[in-house]
Structure 1
Amino acid sequence: MQQAAEDRTIFLIDAQSFYASVEKTGRPELAGCPVAIGDPERPSGIILAACPVAKKKGVTTAERINQARSKCPELVVIRPRMHRYIQVSLLLTGIFECYTDQVEPYSIDEQFLDVTGSLALFGSAESLAREIQTRILLSTGVWCRVGIGPTKILAKMATDNFAKRNPEGLFRLDAANLEEALWPLPVHHMFMTASRMTRHFMRMGLPLIGDIARLELADFKRRLRSEMGKQSDIQAEYYWQTARGIDPSPVVPSIRKPLKGISHGKALRASLYKNREDIEVVLLELVVEVCRRARQHGQMGRVIAVGAVETDGERSGGFQRQMTLPQPTSLTHETAEAVLALFRRHWGGLPVTRLMVMLMDLSPDDTDQLTLFADRTRLYRLERTLDTIKDQYGSAAIVRASSFLDSGVAKERAEQIGGHYR
């Protein structure tokens, strides 16, 4: 039986300036230097992360690199290595799982831990948090902050509003200090309260978190309806509960859900993708990656979807269309034939700024329908052999000849994760 929220002890552990901390740990000569993560060859690019030294000099996340350098001329800008950051994030998860099996990644640098059942073995929540901080620092060189609370929302707000500003990097937020610590804060410090919602609350005369928490729910709903309309009751209940720290959601160790589809997309510069031949080079590259991922998951799909966004600067359009195949597949040539047919049928002829390919209606690929006209078993063996080579030597180890054309993006994509360099 699930424990009551007030009986739980939950951590939200945040790795400080994660990308920058990982880079500084690997380069001791940068100790004490202001460091930011971004593309040093693109002054108009944005800062993805900045170390505490850089932040003290005014550098902020998401600002332009040239703006950051104007504030801090000695700033060291390092190109991101996403693969390395993912590795360290997984290492952190492994460390957390030494203390509890209830670990839920929230982002690459934040994870929830339900340590309720671990305190009898490891002591108080604060002593356990300090032990985890020390172990992470010794193992990775990264300093972590820990928010402690009886719910995930309180643990998160404890981290963001207090632990990050506390030299110890620890703070507990619960019923004992909720009114004293959290309620006097400006309303934009409440979890999931962005600028638009903040403006609504300010117009309602609710500038502080406590102004919401002290209202009766019915009264708050009535006032929010006057501000936002009668469809706002769900939002009212959410923000009222958040202000009071109410959150029954458990820490979920596994965030993976059954696959419903496998897709790949690519944003393009319209000036470079005006001709069908150039666009189809990218489409084929997306097909290769979709089919490879499907085989990695042991899946094949019967429905193919293709999407495109197109514009010439004055006119714009786009489409997303799908078709059902005669039988499920994750073979590249079968999928490509359907994708190209869909694109040629529905493309409006304008330059393309985005493409997407998706494989849906998935089923396990451990059984296959035999045909009289193709040895599909042999074709799957060939494709899986190519997959093995790419897994070992990288996605660019084997590419289609068309990817060496100026319109090809496969080699560039092979060096990136999530649009950033590995």
Structure 2
Amino acid sequence: MDYSLYPRNDVLCIDMRSFYASVEAVKLGLDPMKVMLAVVGDTSRPGSIVLAASPMLKEKYGISNVSRFFELPNDPKIYIVNANMADYLHTSIAIVKLLHQYAPKEAIHPYSVDEIWVTVNGLQRLFGDRWEIAKQIKRDILQRFNLTCSIGIGDNKFLAKVVMDLHAKKVGIAECTYEDVKEKLWPFPVESIWGIGTRMKRNLNNMGIITLEQLANYDRTRLKKRFGVMGEQLYWHAWGIDLSPVFGNFLKTEQKSFGHGISLLRDYSESEALICILDLCEEVCRRARSSHQAGKTVHLGIVYSKDTGGGFSRSQSMLSPTNITMEVYTMCLQLFQRFYDGKSMIRRVYVTLTNLTNEQNIQLHLFEKDTKKNEIGYVMDAIRDKYGATALLRASSYTDAGILLERSKKIGGHYAEAKNNDST
């Protein structure tokens, strides 16, 4: 492979070690690397997921981010805390602000709440080479936040990410250049790299591709024929080649749909499910209005309780695009009445608005005399923006089946603040 044809950049991929658990340990005045601590989505629910476990807890008991609350061992030395998503977001933002001391805004790309890419091209005279910059950032984060991070260094974003996952998490800081790919990447199984999940691993293994070396030396044409563009991308990644931009607004993408879904805490009856659907329609349309978009196709998904299993997922298009809550709800109601089996309890619901268009392109029906329903949504949104998300709700949202009150307390599906501050 002639790597002289491809760009070389100085890219760092920073990963905060056991971020949620580490933040909680620091709040308790404990060492994140030595304490056994688990962050649970909701300690009032035995089946709630363990969102994060401290390194020591992982090492001693094998607890991972797919474990459940009831699976935690009965050890008095283990601290168990409810998730505080707002705290994690605030800390993440503060870390990004710290990175602004090293690189301009367009060179910083937060990939998730605990993982960030930073391009440090041309900063040698200010801070030294990319290894020295990585050391300074790691030291600054530890001194400022008492948090430990791992940093991967690469010639592009992919190499920085992969070397961080495969090597830096063990040694703190690790580097992978194009020339290091055969030594540092090829011996690993294909599922070790970013972008290959269980299904892709199975497909590749069935083709006799077990390691990254085998993937890199497989016929690229056959990979593309089998997997399309993804197959060709996997081939180039196996050689360490990634042409994704390292500067600019990485997050600016065209909105394809607006959707909301919820896994219910208990089984819902038909009448309760309709209240839940209305609340979801309210959220979907609010997001569409905030982006000045409207959709023509409504998608409703229903999953029945585990006792019966099954469910349905159906969509239907309207004559013209809309972002009016009751119009979307009416379409959902039609889909529900058509496909619901009439007896099963319901455990998950989701509503999606697709086939979007800019609201300015929508023309009112020639005979539409009452335009108030097109305006009332914006009035309600303005009130909520000013006084809070729950300042104005439909009466049904206050019933036991309503979900908006509870969702307003959460970020990313988890409580913004812990329901209580007790730890055990």
Give the TM-score band, short-chain normalised: 0.7 to 0.9
Decide whether the 8 Å contact of 1:304 with 1:339 is kept in 2.
no
Deviations 1:297-330 (A, max 9, x none): 2x1415251413254755744242223255x543
User: Aligned partner of 2:49: which letter?
Assistant: I
1:255-294 paired onto structure 2 within 5 Å? 255-268=251-264, 272-275=267-270, 277-294=271-288
Long gaps (5+) in structure 1: none
2:244 corresponds in structure 1 to 249
> 2:70 aligns to what?
66
Displacement after TM superposition at 1:418 (Å): 2.6
Task: Describe the superposition over 1:60-115 as per-residue Cα deviations: whole angstroms up to 9, x where unpaired.
Answer: 21123333325x54211211122332333333333334413222232221122222
SS at match of 1:43: coil
CA contact (8 A) 1:318 1:348 kept: no
Distance 1:197 1:330, change over 3 A: closer
Assess if the C-alpha contact under 8 Å between 1:304 and 1:357 holds in 2. no
Alpha-carbon distance in 1 for matches of 2:264, 2:142:
41
CA distance in 1 between counterparts of 2:353 and 2:207 reads 47
How far 1:346 sits from its partner (Å)?
A: 4.6
Judge conservation of contact 1:319–1:347 (CA < 8 Å) in 2.
Answer: no
Q: Provide the residue aligned with 1:419 in structure 2.
A: 413
- Where in structure 2 are there 5+ consecutive unaligned residues? 417-424
Residue correspondence of structure 1 range 220-259 to structure 2 within 5 A: 231=226, 237-251=232-246, 253-259=249-255
Going from structure 1 to structure 2, the CA distance change for 1:247 and 1:205 (only over 3 Å counts) comes to same
| 2:325 pairs with 1:344 | no
CA contact (8 A) 1:302 1:325 kept: no
Could you say if the C-alpha distance between residues 362 and 89 of structure 1 is closer, same or farther in structure 2, counting changes exceeding 3 Å? farther
Deviation, 1:158, is 1.1
CA positional deviation for 1:197? 5.3
- Mapped partners of 2:336, 2:18: distance in 1: 43
- The superposition leaves residues 357-387 of structure 1 with CA deviations (integer Å, 9 ceiling, x where unpaired) of 2334232469985953344576356313322
What is residue 399 of structure 2 aligned with on the other side?
405
Q: State the AA in 1 paired with 2:241.
A: I
Q: Distance in 2 between matches of 1:377 and 1:202?
A: 54
Contact 2:383 2:391 in 1 (8 A): no
**In 2, Cα distance between the equivalents of 1:181 and 1:51?**
27
Aligned residue type for 2:226: Q
Higher relative contact order (CA 8 A, sep 6+): 2
The percentage of aligned residue pairs carrying the same residue is 29
- 1:384 is matched with 381
- Structure 2 distance, partners of 1:384, 1:348, is 35
TM-score (normalised: structure 2): 0.81
Once the 2 structures are TM-superposed, how far is the Cα of residue 342 of structure 1 from its aligned partner? 4.5
Q: Deviations over 1:172-199 (max 9, x none)?
A: 1113433333334455434444456556
Is 1:324 the counterpart of 2:318 in the alignment?
Answer: yes
Q: 2:155 aligns with which of 137, 142, 150?
A: 150
Q: 2:164 aligns with which of 135, 159, 162?
A: 159
**Alignment correspondent of 2:422:** none
- State the TM-score, normalizing by the size of structure 1: 0.81
